[in-house]
């Protein structure tokens, strides 16, 4: 696990509280000039240090040019300039204290804090669906947690009831706690920090959870153990170099979110092709040294879905190289990335502005300026012999003799408090307390003694009538779903519960002979990565004949994407095969059955039964 640095709400005594605000010249606009009586540039003031924490502000790390552009940039840029978010966790403590003392209600919390700035503490107000309640997003580098974490998550959410108080495993191998009230947040933050985890800087314009291989250290086909590298990148972005507390303001005012994935094997479990920075394990062709080819710019959004592009860079697979490369790209992105249109602010746009070769040169120059002895070489040739991506669910031998990994389905990544505790108990009994999370929103228990596997499979918590399963069907077991309308205000449809229900129905109707990855996403942001799925279901408008009135009426619907691929042969399916499909069983299920039969070789269950 990453190095622990507990948060202290009391600012450490330091020597750098010398300057709390500064001003820069802002390019004059017609409006500014009119306000100032015409002529001359105006000035913009921003805080450089938060006196309460002694932490520098995110803005203070930006280049003057970036600050100038932010000051005339999109509304989020202006909010970030006006009131920096990197010390917003202190406001959480202050609000919580006042709420607990009955001095205010949550409705009186400043709206920009409630709905935007507290995201810097990982707290996302679910205003539209559960007003006053927050989702708290953690950072779980490489998706490694333990039984104590699971029990703590259960304790955090349980009081909010079975409906609202749940724990989700996310598509970034991460954890989100739900139902949280601000008044309880300090205890959760302290509890996380005591357990070497944090929620800080996990949302808004920050680096997101660093994804690695869920089989790190236990895989006989492993090329790189990604755990130390994910922890190192996580520490880079979430550990303040001066105060040594969680949350690093240096990377706290990026133009947009920033995703890093480090793969450990040819399976590419981390999905390098859909991350801003993807590290693809590749040995050096001449020296044989293990390293990474670097791919850049992959992302999904409403306006654009882009697969990563090769950057013609190769780095050694060690901590110093990985951190230096990430730092260099972050520095360039932070200071030069777009601050205007948020739909054009992801890394890909900057790479395209430079051109790949020029961007590479800029990264090389930046890394050289650190003078750490890190070199960037040209990309190395990838392997040519065929490779079949391996499954994560079920029981598989590890590289350690006598040990197995056991992958367990968590349908749509959703866990109740009870299920969290069941997983913790299983982990204590069979995997020395360790639990791995996957981007498919499932879990793996590593290091299970071979002779204990049979007992594990007989455990009630994973019996076939329960949600958690070791050997689910090929459809049910490969479900991924974004949050959807139960909690997400952007959702056009409910996802997780429908995803689970539809998968069960499909399992009853057809038989397939291989895993079929059905992903659900509630809106075009594609948090559920539908373009990478075998079959992707994206919320969208639909119309259906109302039998009573005889008129067409708007109903919840979807677009269906088919043919996305993951692994070495990754491919994104950019155009939907079908649009405007109503979500009801009469419409969606037949469409899916047809697709499964025509494109994935599915056979009717009845037909199968009659043949056998």
Residues 177-216 that bind ligand SRM (CB under 6 A): 208-209
Q: Which two tokens stand for residue 244?
A: 């040594």
Residues of the shown chain interacting with ligand SF4 in the complex, contacts defined by CB under 6 A? 482-484, 488, 490-491, 521-523, 525-528
Specify whether the CB–CB gap between 301 and 527 falls below 8 A: no
The verdict on 530 binding ligand SRM (CB under 6 A) reads: no
Active site residue 433: no
Q: Is 257 in the site for ligand SRM (CB under 6 A)?
A: yes
Nearest distance from residue 307's CB to ligand SF4, in Å? Answer: 18
Please identify which of the residues 137, 208, 339, 344 carries the catalytic annotation. 137
Is residue 319 flagged as an active site residue?
Answer: no
Q: Which of 387, 433, 378, 486 is nearest to 152 (CA)?
A: 433
Question: Which one, 180 or 376, has the nearer CB to ligand SRM?
Answer: 180
Q: Is 514 a catalytic residue?
A: no
Q: From the CB of 319, what's the least distance to ligand SRM, in Å?
A: 23
Q: Out of ligand SF4, ligand SRM, none, which partner does residue 274 contact, by CB within 5 to 8 A per kind?
A: ligand SRM
Active-site position among 420, 527, 544, 559: 527
In this structure, the dihedral spanned by the alpha carbons of residues 467, 472, 476 and 480, taken in order and rounded to 10 degrees, is 80
How far is residue 356 from each of residues 27, 311, 342, 589, measured CA to CA in Å?
30, 6, 21, 44
Nearer to ligand SF4, 97 or 302 (CB): 302
Judged by CB under 6 A, the chain residues 23 through 62 that form the site for ligand SRM are: none
Q: Which stretch binds ligand SRM (CB under 6 A): 218-226, 247-255, 282-290, 526-534?
A: 526-534
Phi and psi (nearest 5°) for 554? -70, 135
Location of structure tokens 């990563």: 308
Establish whether 528 is a catalytic residue: yes
Tokens of 8: 């202290």
Residue 521 near residue 528 (C-beta atoms within 8 A): yes
Stretch that binds ligand SRM, among 164-172, 329-337, 466-474, 499-507 (CB under 6 A): 164-172
* CA–CA dist 223, 288 (Å, integer): 12
Interface residue with ligand SRM, options 526, 562, 588, 592 (CB under 6 A): 526
In terms of CB distance, is 301 or 398 closer to ligand SRM?
301
Query: Under the criterion CB under 6 A, does residue 294 sit at the interface with ligand SRM?
Result: no
* Residue whose tokens read 């780095």: 315
Q: How far is the CB of 416 from ligand SRM (least distance, A)?
A: 16
CA distances to 276, 491, 526, 601 from 521, in Å: 20, 8, 6, 24
Residue from 55, 83, 256, 517 carrying the catalytic annotation: 256
Q: Would you say 264 or 411 has its CB closer to ligand SF4?
A: 411
Radius of gyration, alpha carbons of the chain: 25
The answer to whether residue 212 is catalytic is no
Residues 175-206 as b or e (16 or more Cβ within 10 Å = b): bbbbbbebbbbbebbeebbebebbbbbbbbbb
178 assigned to active site = no
Residue placing its CB nearer to ligand SRM in the complex, 147 or 301: 301
Q: Tell me, letter by letter, the H, E, C secondary structure of 466-499.
A: CCCECCCCCCHHHEEECCCCCCCCCCCCCCHHHH
521 interface partner picked from ligand SF4, ligand SRM, none, CB below 5 to 8 A per type: ligand SF4
- Window of 14-22, 49-57, 168-176, 356-364 that interacts with ligand SRM by CB under 6 A: 168-176
Q: Where are the alpha helices (DSSP H) in 85-134?
A: 88-100, 111-115
Backbone angles phi, psi at 562, to 5 degrees: -135, 140
Q: Which CB sits closer to ligand SRM, 394 or 489?
A: 489
| Residue of 143, 179, 528, 564 marked catalytic | 528
The count of residues interacting with ligand SRM (CB under 6 A) is 30
Place of tokens 């992707």: 536
Of the residues 252, 522, 536, 557, only one is catalytic, namely 522
Task: Sketch the per residue contact string, 429 through 468, with ligand SRM: x for CB under 6 A, - otherwise.
Answer: ----------------------------------------
- If one asks whether residue 421 binds ligand SRM (CB under 6 A), the answer comes out as no
Which 333-352 positions form the footprint of ligand SRM (CB under 6 A)? 346
* C-alpha to C-alpha distances, 80 to 71, 89, 255, 340, 341, nearest whole angstrom: 9, 15, 10, 13, 15
Spatial distance between the Cα atoms of 354 and 359, rounded to a whole number of angstroms:
5
Instruction: Give yes or no for a contact between 247 and 200, defined as CB atoms under 8 angstroms apart.
Output: yes
**Stretch touching ligand SRM by CB under 6 A, among 331-339, 497-505, 520-528, 573-581:** 520-528
Token readout for 523 is 């809106």
What CA–CA distance (Å, rounded) separates 206 from 345? 13
> Smallest distance, Å, CB 565 to ligand SF4?
20
- Which member of 144, 157, 185, 300 binds ligand SRM (CB under 6 A)? 300
Sign of CA dihedral 536, 301, 275, 494: negative
Contact partner, 252, from ligand SF4, ligand SRM, none, Cβ < 5-8 Å per class: none
Catalytic residues: 137, 256-257, 522, 527-528
Binding site for ligand SRM (CB under 6 A): 124, 126, 135, 137, 168, 170-172, 174, 176, 208-209, 256-257, 259, 274, 299-301, 346, 482-483, 487-490, 525-527, 529
């Amino acid at each position: 696990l990453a190095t622990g640095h507990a948060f202290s709400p009391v600012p450490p005594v330091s020597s750098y509280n010398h300057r709390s605000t500064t001003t820069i010249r802002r390019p004059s606009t017609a409006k500014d000039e009119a306000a100032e009586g015409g002529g001359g540039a105006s000035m913009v003031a921003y805080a450089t240090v938060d006196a309460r924490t002694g932490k520098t502000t995110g803005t203070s790390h930006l280049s003057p040019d970036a600050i100038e552009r932010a000051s005339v940039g999109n509304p989020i840029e202006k909010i970030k300039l006006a009131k920096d978010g990197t010390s917003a966790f202190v406001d959480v403590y202050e609000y919580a204290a006042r709420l607990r003392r009955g001095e205010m209600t949550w409705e009186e919390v400043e709206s920009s804090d409630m709905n935007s700035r507290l995201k810097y503490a990982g707290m996302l107000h679910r205003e539209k669906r559960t007003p006053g309640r927050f989702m708290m997003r953690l950072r779980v580098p490489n998706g490694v947690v333990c039984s104590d974490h699971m029990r703590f998550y259960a304790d955090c959410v349980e009081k909010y009831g079975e409906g609202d108080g749940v724990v989700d495993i996310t598509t970034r191998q991460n954890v989100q706690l739900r139902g949280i009230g601000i008044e309880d947040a300090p205890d959760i933050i302290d509890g996380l920090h005591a357990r070497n985890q944090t929620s800080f800087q996990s949302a808004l314009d920050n680096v997101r959870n660093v994804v690695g291989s869920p089989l790190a250290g236990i895989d006989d086909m492993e090329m790189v153990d990604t755990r130390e590298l994910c922890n190192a990148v996580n520490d880079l972005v979430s550990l303040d170099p001066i105060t040594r507390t969680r949350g690093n303001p240096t990377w706290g005012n990026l133009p947009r979110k920033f995703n890093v994935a480090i793969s450990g094997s040819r399976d590419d479990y981390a999905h390098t092709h859909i991350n801003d920075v993807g590290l693809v394990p590749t040995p050096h062709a001449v020296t044989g040294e293990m390293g990474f080819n670097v791919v850049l710019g992959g992302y999904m959004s409403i306006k654009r879905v882009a697969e990563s592009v090769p950057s013609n860079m190769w780095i050694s697979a060690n901590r110093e190289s990985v951190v230096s490369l990430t730092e260099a790209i972050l520095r360039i992105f932070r200071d030069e990335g777009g601050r205007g249109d948020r739909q054009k602010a992801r890394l890909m746009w900057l790479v395209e502005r430079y051109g790949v070769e020029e961007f590479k040169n800029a990264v090389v120059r930046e890394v050289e300026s650190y003078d750490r002895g890190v070199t960037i070489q040209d990309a190395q040739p990838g392997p040519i012999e065929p490779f079949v991506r391996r499954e994560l669910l079920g029981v598989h031998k590890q590289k350690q003799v006598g040990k197995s990994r056991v992958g367990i389905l968590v349908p749509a990544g959703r866990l109740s408090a009870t299920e969290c505790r069941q997983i913790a108990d299983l982990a204590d009994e069979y995997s020395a307390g360790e639990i791995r999370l996957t981007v498919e929103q499932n879990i793996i228990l590593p290091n299970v003694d071979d002779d204990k596997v049979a007992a594990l499979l007989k455990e009630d918590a994973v019996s076939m009538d329960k949600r958690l399963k070791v050997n689910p069907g090929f459809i049910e077991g490969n479900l991924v779903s974004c949050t959807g309308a139960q909690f997400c205000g952007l959702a056009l449809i409910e996802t997780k519960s429908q995803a689970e229900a539809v998968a069960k129905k499909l399992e009853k109707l057809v038989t397939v002979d291989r895993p079929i990855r059905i992903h659900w996403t509630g809106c075009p942001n594609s948090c559920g990565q539908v373009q990478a799925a075998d079959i992707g279901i994206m919320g969208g408008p639909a119309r259906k004949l109302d039998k009573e009135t005889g008129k067409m009426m708007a109903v919840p619907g979807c677009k269906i994407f088919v043919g996305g691929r993951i692994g070495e042969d990754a491919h994104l399916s950019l155009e939907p095969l079908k649009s405007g499909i109503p979500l009801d069983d009469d419409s969606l299920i037949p469409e899916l059955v047809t697709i499964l039969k025509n494109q994935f070789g599915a056979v009717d269950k009845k037909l199968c039964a009659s043949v056998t």
